[in-house]
Chain A
Amino acid sequence: MLKFSLDARRGSFHLEVECSFASDWTVIFGPSGAGKSTLLRLLAGLDRPNRGRIALDGSALTESSIGVYASPGHRRTALVAQQPALFPHLSVRANVAYGLHSLDRSGRASRVAEMLELVGATGLAGRNPQDLSGGEAQRVALARALAPGPRLLLLDEPFSALDGAASDALLERLQLWLKENQVQAVMATHDVTDALAMGAEVLLLREGRRTALGPAAQVLAAERQRLTVRLQGRSD
């Protein structure tokens, strides 16, 4: 279970959210600028909040009151962003193996093969990142993030370069794998269809504040009603 209470200021933007995610797959839904990416970066430990705490399965990852800030590499947390950020000087195989330095050579090789197969990128192992399409690069970035065996997977609109069918197939395999390996996933999106399709639980975020948290259908129905009322108000 992921629990957090965060207060972070970035210039004029102020994020203040308190939540507890119990579902295996939670979607953070909100318009651009709502604070989705900021929240994911805080959860990943890449940024520090002004104040707050983050706990995963009861272990404190961030606790500002006593100065605890687990480094990003020691949180068992993976983050896959919209831009794949593959290391351009390393092959696909070496990219996926980057987080596996504690394994021996054969252990790394088999884990890389397993991850590339999971994301449907087995044939790309010897290629360079510069030679990949956007969708292929996103698959490899996902394989690289999953390879070390995270406990929490954060996804920031990671499948934007994949077409609908490819994205659906990958997500189906991914969700099954996450369940088998007991990995909790949190995905940020501004696409309501993604939120409806994947979100057992949805956090609605607007201007840095939590406006709703609950089952996808319930939260998104309320949001649709709110938007309808707003549109009717404009047309009147």
Chain B
Amino acid sequence: MDWQAFALSLRLAAVTTAILLAIAVPLAALLVLGRGRWLAALEALATLPMVLPPTVLGFFLLVLLGPRTAVGRGITALLGHPLAFSFDGLVAGSVIYSLPFAVQPLVAGFASVPTALVDAARLLGAGPVRLVATVLVPLARRSLLAAVVLSFLHTVGEFGVVLMLGGDIPGATRTLSIVLYNQVENFDYAAAGRTAAILLGLSVLALAVIYSTSQNRGSLRGGRRA
């Protein structure tokens, strides 16, 4: 068992999920509460990574963050090292790749909050930040949990973006998915089975958390009382 890759995968997923929440909560609130035709374009852009092949996304990011573009050169000058083939680069790629898995559950959750409650908060003087913090997020907490779990698991299991953008550097960019790929390539099926079992176990555990929460809050399943 490659514990270094295991720890790196969990670290990558934790950092990515934290950054995603900071981006996805305000973005989802804007998509639900905002007005304007440009919001449809913004939502499409936020959903794009879901339908884009991971290798294609990884390739674009590799080129964008490399020395051939002004963006890549600027980031290298800022950080002192290129983002490609580094842990920071993996975080950047993971945030973009997993963005729809954080935004979509939150959009669905926020949209299910009755308009009358949003109106009541606005009439009582709540600005956008207070509205999100005190009404939307508490009432969409199950969607928030789903966004956290999906973002985390999607990052743990990602392969294409990681391989294209990070390569296979032990301790820096070698995640469990890369380890599994290497084990299969070396015909070490016993080790691959153990690695795959760990990835499967994480997924099952996370889904159990989501569904047990929804069972406990059965009243929310039939719609929220306003």
Contact = CB atoms under 8 A, between A and B. Distances in A.
Contact of B125 (A79, A88, A99, A129): A99
A154 B147 CA distance: 39
Contacts of A78: 123
A157 to B, nearest CB: 14
Contacts of B138: 89
A73 B125 contact: yes
Nearest to B139: A89
Interface residues of A, number: 25
Nearest to A154: B123
A74 B122 CA distance: 9
A83 to B, nearest CB: 6
B121 A98 contact: yes
B143 to A, nearest CB: 14
B124 A88 contact: no
A218 to B, nearest CB: 33
Given A46-B122, A71-B122, A73-B122, A87 B127 contact: no
B123 A88 contact: no
Interface in A116-165: 129-130, 144-145, 148
Contacts of B139: 88-89
Interface string B112-142: 0010110111111111001000110011000
Contacts of A44: 123
B37 interface: no
Interface in A179-193: none
A39 interface: no
A85 B125 contact: no
Contacts of B225: 88, 129-130
A139 to B, nearest CB: 15
A72 interface: yes
A83 B114 CA distance: 11
Contacts of B117: 85, 87
Contacts of B114: 85
Contacts of B135: 87
Nearest to B226: A85
Nearest to B119: A46
A187 B204 CA distance: 55
B224 A101 contact: no
Contacts of A62: none
A89 B121 CA distance: 13
A81 interface: yes
A38 interface: no
A101 B124 CA distance: 10
A26 interface: no
B119 A99 contact: no
A74 B119 CA distance: 13
A103 to B, nearest CB: 12
Given A85-B119, A98-B126, A145-B123, 6 more contacts: A46-B123, A73-B122, A73-B126, A83-B116, A88-B226, A101-B125
Interface of B: 114, 116-117, 119-127, 130, 134-135, 138-139, 224-226
* 3 A-B pairs with least C-beta separation: A99-B124, A73-B125, A85-B116
